[in-house]
Amino acid sequence: MNFIIASTFIDSLARLATQAQTLVKQAAFDLQLGPEHPSFQLHRLDRATDKHFWSARVNLDLRIILYRDADHLVLCYAAPHDEAYRWGQKRRFEVHPQTHAAQVVEIHERVEEVVKYIPRETPLLFGHYDSDYLLALGVPEAWLDAVRHAGEEHLDELLDRLPQEAAERLLKLACGEPVPRPVTVAETPFAHPDAQRRFRVIDNQQELRRALEYPWERWIVFLHPTQRGVVERRYGGPARVSGAAGTGKSVVALHRAAALVRSAPDGRVLLTTFSKTLAARLSQNADLLLGSDAPERARIDIVHLHKLARDTWVNTLKHKFAFINTKRFNELLQAAIARTGVAEHSPAFLKAEWEAIVNLWGIGDEEAYLGASRKGRGTRLGARQRRAVWRVFAELLAVLDEKHYMTWERLCFRLAAELAERPPLYRHVVADEAQDFGPAEFRLLRALVAPGDNDLFLCGDAGQRIYQPRFSWKAAGIEVRGRATRLTVNYRTTEQIRRFADTLLPAALDEDGDSKPESRASLSLLKGPPPEVSGYAHVNEEIAGVARRLRELTAGGFSPRDIAIFCRSETRLKERAEPALQQCGLAGHCLSDEAPPTDTHVSLGSMHRAKGLEFKIVIVMGCDEDMLPRASVLSELVDEADRAVFIEQERQLLYVACTRARERLLVTYSGRPSCFLQT
């Protein structure tokens, strides 16, 4: 008999208190071993339409609803007795007549209530589609009438009750997007891609334990068919996966690494990213997905790329390395200017030229600099001027080499050059948050793996680029033409938060510097209250307003660990977020690479710290006119191109902070709001 866990069971488990979750999990393990044990008091569900729905006793109050036939036992729902029975009595298990995918469907009596509720004068969204087409989209037969009578006003209520694949396709139709008739053949109802997003066959107790470990992150266990297709596809070279925040790119990267390590029993796989925090989280989730003691897990290296570069350079290749910070770099640049006597350009201009051209592209000699493209730079330089500028950089590079000083970019370029002469370190490389890698990091990724099938798999979102300017991936040595996929289903945030966040960015962006701009359109079936944007005359009023909302949220059942407050800078956190917590008696925890969120505190962090995290509630404070974009930084940028890049990154930074929210979002400011909030 196949033992199967349904996504509805995972969802219901997440709503239980911690102690109840523990009891239900233990019961799930015991059911896998033997459902006939007398302690379960297993019996057919009273007054259920589907005779295959059963009830299993967990304790005096808790029950698990099962679907059970000769070949399958499916964990469907867990709740207190009365709630569990109501859920089971209103649903039945079906194999869809056209798609042949397994579905759990609300019963016909409930459908009729919905149909009667919809006013007949409402313009119909799907009334002109024939039944055969609607069935092909995954609409259950019992729901055809309700779908035909659906209008825009009550669309959300309808979609909430349909199987996810049908809801997604109908929502696309309602938005004017054509949806082709799906054609998928599967050997069994549970093997169909539509079914695999809500059912998972469990082979052993270790796999069940992993599946139940983090019930609020069900997308780690259940993949959307589009995600599964990307994970399992064979690529004839580097591949790119893009998608707006919340579309599951990190999950795809994780599953891709797991799939590759299973397919390469004698090779190692690198799963890397830009952030130390995200690398730690990916490592934890890999333990969940594969098992921390599994042989496959031992062959996946999960580390952020700069750490890998430093460790390889120092420990493997035995070279010296000292990272140069901004203060020391400025001192050495001033000294180089003084020694060369080049006074035609200001130190601010020369620093900007270093960062945007020389350091970004790893230029090491005059010839390369003279031939380098400066397209988009606000200040033009002729050949004579370039030679004068290079004298400063040549002097600066000589000192850096003498003292073994390096930027992260120079380290990556040098390591890539050395690795190109050696056997590749990895069979496959998967990179998450690729939008925050620059040409140097791309050169290193290319050098870590031999060109070939499934060599590089890069996940990212140009809308979340906060560390790098736009550049051509092809110029950096990575060509993804014909091997690019965009994810469009948002799993993290509510539709209301998604819509608000999307207004912060253009409707389309160039993802790799070589392609036409791609539409950022996505959809979420999650619903919640609209984001709140609150302005205050003075900072003290903003602090009091946030404190008041925090008291309301905690009184409403949210715990401190559900909440994060982000500000543009650490200074704003101390000035506004910490006093707000003090006023309502809550304890804050400052996020860092070494200090991820805790179970007992409200998380506090700069917007940059929001990367890779998510919370039920996010409050973004201090979104004032002079803070987003930061006026103090803008005033120091001498080139218009640099100013444009900085403003773009600041806008995307606000987008990143807002999209960390899963259920509720509050954005506040004092005085005049940021220009990003005025669009």
Bridge partners, residue 65, by sequence: 55, 77
Among the listed residues 412, 319, 404, the one whose alpha carbon sits nearest the alpha carbon of residue 361:
412
Among the listed residues 224, 227, 220, the one whose alpha carbon sits nearest the alpha carbon of residue 288:
220
Taking 50 as the threshold, does the pLDDT of residue 135 lie above it? Answer: yes
Contact 63, 81 (CB under 8 A): yes
Contact 300, 257 (CB under 8 A): yes
pLDDT, average across residues 235-256: 94
* Distance from the first to the final alpha carbon of the chain: 57
Buried b (16+ CB within 10 A) or exposed e, 296-312: bbebbbbbbbbebbbeb
Residue 98 falls in which region: left (phi positive, over 0), alpha (psi -120 to 50) or beta? alpha
DSSP-derived 3-state class of residue 103:
strand
DSSP string, 21-83: HHHHHHHHHHHHH-TT-GGG--EEPTT-SSTTEEEEESSSSEEEEEEE-SSEEEEEEEEEHHH
Cα distance between residue 140 and residue 101, in whole Å: 11
pLDDT, tens only, 189-207: 888 888 888 888 887 666 6
pLDDT, average across residues 52-58: 94
Among the listed residues 42, 45, 39, 33, the one whose alpha carbon sits nearest the alpha carbon of residue 85:
45
Q: Who's near 585: CB < 8 A, 6+ residues apart?
A: none
Q: 91-95 and 102-106 as β-strands: parallel, antiparallel, unpaired?
A: antiparallel
Among the listed residues 475, 254, 263, the one whose alpha carbon sits nearest the alpha carbon of residue 360:
475
Tally Cβ neighbours within 10 Å of residue 516.
Answer: 7
> What size, in residues, is the chain?
679
pLDDT of residue 216: 38
Taking 90 as the threshold, does the pLDDT of residue 268 lie above it? Answer: yes
Taking 70 as the threshold, does the pLDDT of residue 404 lie above it? Answer: yes
Cα distance between residue 64 and residue 298, in whole Å: 36
Tokens 């469009």 correspond to 488
Residue 566 falls in which region: left (phi positive, over 0), alpha (psi -120 to 50) or beta? beta
Cα distance between residue 465 and residue 436, in whole Å: 6
Cα distance between residue 421 and residue 428, in whole Å: 18
Question: For residue 185, which amino acid is it?
Answer: V
pLDDT, tens only, 330-373: 999 999 999 999 988 899 999 999 999 999 999 999 999 999 99
What are the tokens at 464?
A: 């979340």
pLDDT, tens only, 482-519: 999 999 988 889 999 999 999 999 999 999 988 889 89
pLDDT of residue 220: 57
What are the tokens at 297?
A: 């897990």
Buried b (16+ CB within 10 A) or exposed e, 51-81: ebbbbbbbeeebbbbbbbeeebbbbbbbbee
Taking 70 as the threshold, does the pLDDT of residue 210 lie above it? Answer: no
pLDDT, tens only, 373-397: 998 887 889 999 999 999 999 999 9
DSSP-derived 3-state class of residue 270:
strand
Specify the CATH superfamily of domain 2-93+188-202.
RelE-like (3.30.2310.20)
Q: Which strand (E) or helix (H) includes residue 497?
A: helix 495-502
Please state the domain extents for the chain: 2-93+188-202, 102-174, 223-314+413-523, 322-403, 531-678
Q: Sheet harboring 484-487: ordered strands across?
A: 300-304, 269-273, 428-431, 456-460, 239-243, 484-487
Contact 78, 84 (CB under 8 A): yes
Helix crossing, 408-419 with 439-448: angle to 10°?
Answer: 30
Among the listed residues 511, 629, 624, 520, the one whose alpha carbon sits nearest the alpha carbon of residue 576:
624
Confidence of residue 266 (pLDDT cuts 50, 70, 90): confident
Cα distance between residue 295 and residue 262, in whole Å: 10
Confidence of residue 456 (pLDDT cuts 50, 70, 90): very high
pLDDT, tens only, 616-653: 999 999 999 999 999 988 888 888 888 999 999 999 99
CATH T-level fold of 531-678: Rossmann fold (3.40.50)
What are the tokens at 415?
A: 């390591």
Q: Fold match between 223-314+413-523 and 531-678? A: yes
Q: Who's near 244: CB < 8 A, 6+ residues apart?
A: 461, 463, 490, 498, 502, 520, 522, 659
Report H helices in 264-407.
Answer: 276-290, 295-298, 305-311, 326-340, 347-353, 359-361, 366-371, 383-402
DSSP-derived 3-state class of residue 544:
helix
CATH T-level fold of 223-314+413-523: Rossmann fold (3.40.50)
pLDDT, tens only, 413-440: 999 999 999 999 999 999 999 999 999 9
What are the tokens at 676?
A: 């990003």
DSSP-derived 3-state class of residue 489:
strand
Confidence of residue 116 (pLDDT cuts 50, 70, 90): low
Cα distance between residue 378 and residue 373, in whole Å: 13
